[in-house]
Amino acid sequence: MLTTIDTAYTDTRADDLAWALGREPLPALAVLDVELSGAKLQLRLLGASHQVLLDQDDGSCSETVACIPGSSTPLPLGVAKRLGDWDYEFAARVETLPGQSFAGRAQELLALVADHPHGLAGTFPGSPHAFTAMLAQRGEGQVRWRTWHAYPQEGRLVVTRTRIGVLHHSQRPERRSGRAAL
């Protein structure tokens, strides 16, 4: 789904993005609800930022990449965490592209996400290449999403990928019942 966001472009520098887990839902400018084999996701556009809310039978997760006032957690290159019975991985990179290359990459990404049933993209007034896009999928027992945050005034594209999966039995910490083994 492609939408035009009717608001000023607020996150104007790639370096201002921060990452957070577990935040409450923030006011969204556009939302797409997606169901992927029992996993319910809500893809949320927040200015030039994103928030993904994941809800499954075995838990929930909230990921936010945004300009977060007072945040001391800059956008990390990578994070691997255990969230209950889930294995969470996040990675980010910044691509710097010259003018025409940036415009071409922006058009390519918007076309990819706009026609995808699990994709949400929003463009902002003032530049056809100012956008945030998200694409979700499920495979191999994992939920995954990728995001793109475009900063045409800098020629920078912030790309993130997230993967959440249930820990394999061998990775789960042993739970003792308090009963002696026979």
Token pair 């209950």 in the structure block, residue:
84
Q: What is the mean pLDDT of residues 90-100?
A: 92
Cα–Cα distances (Å) from 129 to 15, 21, 71, 104, 156, in that order, read: 18, 28, 27, 9, 11
Task: Check pLDDT > 70 for residue 15.
Answer: yes
DSSP state of 107: H
The Cα 160–Cα 134 span in angstroms is 9
- What local confidence, expressed as pLDDT, does residue 56 receive? 83
Sign (positive or negative) of CA dihedral 9, 10, 14, 18: negative
How does pLDDT run across 68-87, given as a tens digit for each residue?
776 666 788 999 999 888 89
- What local confidence, expressed as pLDDT, does residue 4 receive? 77
Cβ(96)–Cβ(152) below 8 Å:
no
Percent of the chain predicted with pLDDT > 90: 49
How does pLDDT run across 97-144, given as a tens digit for each residue?
997 899 999 999 999 999 899 999 998 887 878 899 999 999 888 999
